[in-house]
Structure 1
């Protein structure tokens, strides 16, 4: 068959969209306005280009007078049709404006076809594996972030003049001082509830006086620090994530880096130190409030006098029980601070992202606090402390 040129739009002088196709050489010369007002002509010209089939095609845009998003989209759609058939398309004579439009209208990779459907067991194992891998990655990133915080603390220790004492005092006020009322109230109520239920059960055996041993050991060793850590995670941990996340959204963290300041030294170190200092103090307040609530309940329901309660409590506990709870507090504070600040730095530029990371910070902190408490309980039982 003899090669010939095909004019898809005979009217070349009025600026209408046209395509001159050299079928033998696989070359196409576009001309006119490939714009929305030339929609039918653009579609007709594109159909002629697509008819070239599965071969290398060179599309010359040198004679185009104008190209808009519709024309670029039709060209990219046509390119996709040719490449789907095994051909290839190359644009020549493009201007920077043409390249921008064609790039914006560029073909997206089609979604991979859905694989074969598997059973519920396979889906469960697959989801479990993915969550496990994601959890391991989060643990590794948390350890790396902890290393950055320790390094920042070392730099501050070597240069004490750079430490922001005012920020530390302000954070201690927010974490510890302003948290005393709610923590004391909740601990008082929980101590009373534990004592009440213990008395009701021990009365069956005539051993209601042993409720003092129960609440003394339970509160000082486990419940006081656990309640405090959970409330601090929900109160201060979420606040840390929200504050840092808001700064990320307003690009204030990037501004600190531009000014040559270390965001970890300025934002993270004071907050984590405030948690490490404040949580043991709040734990002591929580334990005393819970013991007060348990003592009041024991007097009301168990018939114990204040003197008998205090004498029994003194015989049941010792100083090392208090230390068990206080030793756990700094580790839980460090865990809460690391998780809260990591989630804060992970916030992106939307309110939805902020809410999602605040929720994740609270949930992860509470989970890690409970897990740490269990590990410490096993450890202290192993060393008989």
Structure 2
């Protein structure tokens, strides 16, 4: 035990060759604090520099007392000479004891608005990077699983297809039917002023083939499915189940993300087709009951006046929307912290992000197909 005891008595003595310099020696540690206080109290105030290179041992308490002596003598930090290893500790103790900087001024309202915008942009940029990283890892795991049938997890895929697709059919078809009726009513109201009520058929057909069929389905699944994915994975993370999965040597992306993503990729196009048919039925119902257009005439005009490209334009967007909804829902679940409040916050965030991104991508796709004259 004697190897770590402080055996060298601390000392303070003026330099014989330079009387305005104080020589510091010995052990300056917590165990010598009583003796050090006595030495500091008797230090000569005419001292201009302090040489502590003869100090053998130094700890945080000794550094604090050494700085207190410098302050008592009214000397700046540059007047202290110490060993390099001791100087690092002295600087750390000096910085630790420094007062906290004053809070910056609140600034003008314009300054606060710009600051908020800057924070939002930085946060959006970071979220984009995280999303792209998650997308890359998911696609890599998806490519690996395609060539390894043992990792397809068919049971999990079928289960999520039922939860995502089959259970959502009534809601999707009902809302699409009602929206189709509303579009037909609005079209009839506007076109009746020009005596072109018959064109309501083309209006409903183009609207649901190209936009409303896939967009309504994606928005409904963004609110219904993305939130469910986030809540499920977030609850597993808060319960430390994800850590258990990694401990067993399993990949959470392969186990939790890919089955949900594959289920969405398979079911969203089917739901889009059903939503399109339901919307057309809603429009046809209004045409039959309000505009005296028979079902045969309605179907005949759809076949004669509309090209199949409108249908395929809408269906081509379904896999993209499925990827977006599945990735955001699962990613927000992985971001959840270990508390219930975080689960609710990220569930809300997944719904908002999914719906916003679906609408943004739909607008970009509309401009893209318009430029291609499709």
Fold shared, TM-score > 0.5 on shorter chain: yes
Does the aligned pair in 1 maintain the 2:176–2:276 contact within 8 Å? yes
Trace 1:354-365 onto structure 2 (pairs within 5 A): 354-365=343-354
1:305 Cα offset (Å) = 1.4
Does the aligned pair in 1 maintain the 2:134–2:331 contact within 8 Å? yes
CA distance in 1, matches of 2:156, 2:192: 52
1:308 matched residue in structure 2: 297
**Which residue, out of 232, 238, 249, partners 1:249?**
238
2:152 matched residue in structure 1: 163
Trace 1:88-127 onto structure 2 (pairs within 5 A): 112-127=101-116
1:110 Cα offset (Å) = 7.1
Alpha-carbon spacing, 1:254–1:284, altered in 2? closer, same or farther (3 Å): same
1:239 matched residue in structure 2: 228
**Which residue, out of 17, 24, 43, partners 2:38?**
24
CA-based RMSD of the aligned residues comes to 2.7
1:38 matched residue in structure 2: none
Greater mean deviation of Cα atoms: 114-123 or 129-138 = 114-123
1:309 Cα offset (Å) = 1.4
**Which residue, out of 312, 329, 344, partners 1:340?**
329
Trace 1:36-47 onto structure 2 (pairs within 5 A): none
CA distance in 2, matches of 1:300, 1:109: 82
Alpha-carbon spacing, 1:124–1:305, altered in 2? closer, same or farther (3 Å): same
> Deviations for 1:233-256, whole angstroms, at most 9, x for unmatched residues?
111111000000000011111101
2:203 matched residue in structure 1: 214
1:74 matched residue in structure 2: none
> Deviations for 1:144-183, whole angstroms, at most 9, x for unmatched residues?
1111011111221232112211101111111111110000
The number of aligned residues is 303
Local SS of the residue matching 1:257: helix
> Deviations for 1:207-262, whole angstroms, at most 9, x for unmatched residues?
11111111110111011110000000111111000000000011111101000001
2:193 matched residue in structure 1: 204
Greater mean deviation of Cα atoms: 179-188 or 130-139 = 130-139
Taking CA–CA contacts closer than 8 Å with sequence separation of 6 or more, which of the two structures ends up with the larger relative contact order?
2
The answer to whether 1:278 aligns with 2:267 is yes
> Deviations for 1:111-170, whole angstroms, at most 9, x for unmatched residues?
642212322222222211221121111111111111101111122123211221110111
1:182 matched residue in structure 2: 171
1:287 matched residue in structure 2: 276
Alpha-carbon spacing, 1:58–1:265, altered in 2? closer, same or farther (3 Å): closer
5+ residue gaps, structure 2: 1-11, 13-32, 42-57, 78-95
Local SS of the residue matching 2:161: helix
Alpha-carbon spacing, 1:210–1:360, altered in 2? closer, same or farther (3 Å): same
Does the aligned pair in 1 maintain the 2:288–2:294 contact within 8 Å? yes
Alpha-carbon spacing, 1:58–1:133, altered in 2? closer, same or farther (3 Å): closer
5+ residue gaps, structure 1: 4-18, 28-55, 61-77, 89-106
1:312 Cα offset (Å) = 1.8
Does the aligned pair in 1 maintain the 2:106–2:112 contact within 8 Å? no
The answer to whether 1:153 aligns with 2:142 is yes
TM-score, normalisation: structure 2: 0.75
**Which residue, out of 116, 121, 124, partners 1:132?**
121
1:108 Cα offset (Å) = 11
